[in-house]
Structure 1
Amino acid sequence: MEALTTSTLAVSIAEIGDKTQLLALILACRFRKPLPIIWGIFLATLINHALAGSVGIWIQSWLDPQWLRWLLALSFFAMAAWMLIPDKADDEDSRFYRLGPFVATFVLFFLAEIGDKTQIATTLLAARFVDEFWLVVAGTTLGMMVANLPAVLAGHKGAGRLPMHWIHGASALIFLVLGVTTLWWPWS
C-alpha cells in the first residue's frame, strides 16, 4: 500500500504546474469536451507509466542494491531541484488538434510525458518498489488524474490563482523526503 500512496502523492503534487497539466488546460479550452480529454489523459498516462515502470524494474534488476539505493536517492534529490523550475506550455497550435479531442489528447500527453518529471518519478518509484510494480503504475496514473482532472473540468477559470511557487516547493520537499528515506530506510 505504501507504493500506491507514495506514487499517488508524489505524482499528483509534482504534476501541478507541469507542462502536461498546462496541456490539459489548453485542450479543455480548445475542445470543451471533458470526457474524451479525460480518457485520452488516462490511457496515455497508463501506457506511458507502465513502460516507464518497466524501465525501473530493469534498472533495479541490473544494478547492485547499494548502487541502486544511491542512484535512486540522488535521482530523487535531482527531482526535488527540478521541481523548483516551473514548466511552461508548448506552442498551442498543434497539428494533432485535427484528430479530435481523444486522439489529440492521447498523442500529445503520451509525447509530453516522455522524459517528463512524472515519467522519471515513475521509473524511480518502480525501481524502489520493485515487487509492487502495478501499484506504482496505478498510483502514478491516479496522481496524474488527480492533478489533471480539475484542470480539464475547470478549463481556464481559476488556473492562474494557484500559488505555484508553494506547490512546486511542496513537491520538491516530497522528492527530498523520498531521497532521504531511500538512503536511510531499510529495504526489503
Structure 2
Amino acid sequence: MAGAPARPPAPSLRNVETLLIAMAVVAIAELGDKTQLVAIVLAGRLRRPLLIAAGMAVALGFMHGLAAFAGRWLDQLLPDRLLGWIIGTGFCLMALWMLRSSGHSRANVPRPSSQRHVFLIALFTFAMLEFGDKSQLTTLGLAAVLDPAWQVGLGAALGSIMINLPMIWLGYRLQNQLPQRLIQRCAAALFALIGAAVLITQAL
C-alpha cells in the first residue's frame, strides 16, 4: 500500500558475529583449564556459590575486557618476571590460608562477618588465574584480528563465565558428599601446586 512505513531491516547475526566467535573460541580454550578446578574447590571450601560466581564474573569480565581493549599495553604494566613472582607468591599464601583452616570442623561455616570476604577472595583468585592465561591470550589474539573490541571482550568474558559456572555448582554439590577437611586440603594442594609452578617457571 502506498504510503506504508518502511520496515526496519531484519536483525542479522552478522551484527554480533564477533561476539559469538569470541564466546565460542574462549569457551573452548577454557575447557580443562585450571580455572575450572579452582572454581570447584573454591565453591566446596567457601560454600557461597552466588558470591563466588559474582566475584568470578567481575574478575573474568575485567581481565578479558583489559585484554581486548588494552592488550598491547599489558606487558608494560609490570615486567613479566615481577608479575610472575607476585602471582606465584599470592597462590602460595592462599594455600597456607586454606591449610590453616583445614583443621576446623565441617560445621564451621563462614560467619556473617567473614561472608563479605568471599566475593573478594573469588575476585582476587580468578583475576590472578586469568592474568597471562591461555584464555586471556586468546582474547588478545582475537582483538588483533576482529572488530569491534567491545564484542571481543564481552564475548570472551561470556564464554569464560559460561564454561566455569557449572564448576561452581559442582563444587557446591560435592561439599555435601565429601569431608570438608578433604576439600580444604585438596584446595590447599591445588593452590600450592599452581603457586610453585609459577615460581619455578620464573626461576628458570
Please say whether Structure 1 and Structure 2 have the same fold, judged by a TM-score greater than 0.5. yes
Q: Hey, what does 2:24 align to over in structure 1?
A: 9
1:50 aligns with 2:65: yes
2-side partners of 1:19 and 1:111: how far apart?
12
2-side partners of 1:126 and 1:57: how far apart?
10
1:42-81 alignment to 2 at 5 Å? 42-56=57-71
Deviations 1:75-117 (A, max 9, x none): xxxxxxxxxxxxxxx7672549977321111001101111100
1:102-121 alignment to 2 at 5 Å? 102-121=119-138
Q: Hey, what does 1:93 align to over in structure 2?
A: 95
Residues 94/39 of structure 1: CA separation in 2 closer, same or farther (3 Å cut): farther
Q: Hey, what does 1:175 align to over in structure 2?
A: none
2-side partners of 1:55 and 1:7: how far apart?
16
2-side partners of 1:56 and 1:38: how far apart?
25
Asked whether the equivalents of residues 69 and 150 of structure 2 are also in contact (C-alpha less than 8 Å), the reply is: no
- The two structures, once aligned, show a CA RMSD in angstroms of 2.6
1:22 aligns with 2:17: no
Following TM superposition, the consecutive aligned residue runs of length 4 or more in structure 1 with deviations greater than 6 angstroms are 96-99
Q: Hey, what does 1:82 align to over in structure 2?
A: none
Name the SS for the 1:17 alignment partner. coil
Q: Which one of the candidate residues 122, 125, 140 is aligned to 2:142?
A: 125
Residues 47/5 of structure 1: CA separation in 2 closer, same or farther (3 Å cut): same
Name the SS for the 1:103 alignment partner. helix
Residues 57/93 of structure 1: CA separation in 2 closer, same or farther (3 Å cut): closer
Deviations 1:93-148 (A, max 9, x none): 2549977321111001101111100100111111111x311111111111111111
Q: Hey, what does 2:83 align to over in structure 1?
A: none
Q: Which one of the candidate residues 29, 40, 55 is aligned to 1:40?
A: 55
Q: Which one of the candidate residues 124, 144, 150 is aligned to 1:134?
A: 150
Identity of aligned residues (%): 38
Residue type of the alignment partner of 1:144: S
Q: Hey, what does 1:155 align to over in structure 2?
A: 171
1-side partners of 2:141 and 2:149: how far apart?
11
Residues 94/45 of structure 1: CA separation in 2 closer, same or farther (3 Å cut): farther
* Structure 1 spans left out of the alignment, 5+ residues: 60-89, 159-188
Name the SS for the 2:148 alignment partner. helix
Equivalent residues, number: 127
2-side partners of 1:34 and 1:102: how far apart?
10
- The structure that has the greater radius of gyration is 2
Asked whether the equivalents of residues 49 and 172 of structure 2 are also in contact (C-alpha less than 8 Å), the reply is: no
Residues 103/148 of structure 1: CA separation in 2 closer, same or farther (3 Å cut): same
